[in-house]
Structures are given as structure tokens and as C-alpha cells.
A and B are shown apart, each in its own frame.
Chain A
Amino acid sequence: AQSVTQLDSQVPVFEEAPVELRCNYSSSVSVYLFWYVQYPNQGLQLLLKYLSGSTLVESINGFEAEFNKSQTSFHLRKPSVHISDTAEYFCAVSGGGYQKVTFGTGTKLQVIP
């Protein structure tokens, strides 16, 4: 069985400030980890993913996440947020067959001007 815990349901942050969205997972097998973003009234889009190799992964819009196996975490960070980053962010884990993906409950990032 696998599960994902996103510790914060809402995170307000001022524009240009740094942010960290926390994600912890549990799985009995090797995992693949994902962060998805959902803008208002849209479906989910992949932000970044960890499959293997370097534990630090980056997205094209300045987000990064670090896979920490000992702490079973995959926190998402951005050094300086923009208004356009306002969205809901979902952490997800996959480790089972046929690509069953388990999602966390989501964190709403609210960027304040």
C-alpha cells in the first residue's frame, strides 16, 4: 500500500517570498514521485517528477523538489513566488503495477500581492 500526506491545506505567502509545500509518502516498494499543479477550473498538469538519479529535480518555471528517502519526503520549493503561482498543488506517488498513482489531499498556494 502507498499513501501521501500533504501537511498544509493552505499556504498564504507574499509575492517574491520563498515557499515550501510539504509532502511525505509511505510505500512498501520503490517509488516514483510527482508534483502536479491545478489552476482554477482546469485539470491537473505535471510540474515535476522524480524517477531515479539526482534527488533534486527542477521544473521549467522555477520550482524544485528534493527526494529524501530517509525522511520519506518530497517537499516542493520556490525561492521567489509570483502571483501566477496561485494554484492548488498535489503531491503523488506511484510504485504499484499499471501505474496506479496515489494523490495527496492538495495544498492551496495563495500568493498575496
Chain B
Amino acid sequence: DVKVTQSSRYLVKRTGEKVFLECVQDMDHENMFWYRQDPGLGLRLIYFSYDVKMKEKGDIPEGYSVSREKKERFSLILESASTNQTSMYLCASSSGAGATEAFFGQGTRLTVV
């Protein structure tokens, strides 16, 4: 079974802190994604990566950056956390091009105080 693992289920950080959200997948998938999920807004794509060291902005990249140094790991970075970044963050992966499904992690609920 494909497994996408997010390092934390719950995280509380202070405004201005640098925050790292880690995601690891074990199926050698080329594509990895970071979404944030907010009530009434569904899932919005922050960044995605289709290869090591490659990244593309999604729909809401402001305030975020990403890193993909190894194929299995995709990190989301909040350079200076703000309260409006309090949200559920979901990592996903999928294989190559073509219409394949995305596999999701359990999510990280981040609260910025």
C-alpha cells in the first residue's frame, strides 16, 4: 500500500516562527503536493513538485516555500508564521504523468498563536 506520512498531526507555533512541515512517501512517486484545507474553501494547492529539486507554484504560494532534495521527501516551509496560516495542511503524492490518483497523508493541523 502507498503510504504518505506527515511528521506531525498537530502543531502549535508562535507568530513569526519558522515552521517546517515534513512529508515522506514510500512509493517512488514523481509528483508531490502541498494543499491547505479550510472550511468552506476546500483544498487549495500551495506548491507541487514533479521531480527532485523541481517545484511549481500552486494557487496560493504566498508566505510559503518548499524543498525537495530527495524524491521521497517534500517539505513545506513557513518562513515567518502568521495567524492566517492556521489551517489543516495535507501532503499528497502521485506517480508520473497521466491520470493517476493522488494519495494523501493524514494531515497536519497547524495553529499559529
Contacts and interface: CB of A to CB of B under 8 A. Distances in A.
Interface stretch (B36-44, B69-77, B78-86): B36-44
Interface stretch (A11-19, A55-63, A64-72, A95-103): A95-103
Given A43-B90, A43-B105, A99 B43 contact: no
Contacts of B100: 99
Q: How large is the interface on A (under 10, 10 to 19, 20 to 34, 35 or more residues)?
A: 20 to 34
B56 A98 contact: yes
A71 to B, nearest CB: 21
Nearest to B104: A43
A104 B104 CA distance: 16
Contact of B101 (A34, A104, A106): A34
B19 interface: no
Interface string A74-96: 00000000000000001000100
B50 A98 contact: yes
Interface of B: 4, 31, 33, 35, 40-45, 48, 50, 56, 58, 90, 92, 94, 96-102, 104-107
Interface of A: 6, 9, 32, 34, 36, 41-46, 49, 51, 90, 94, 97-106
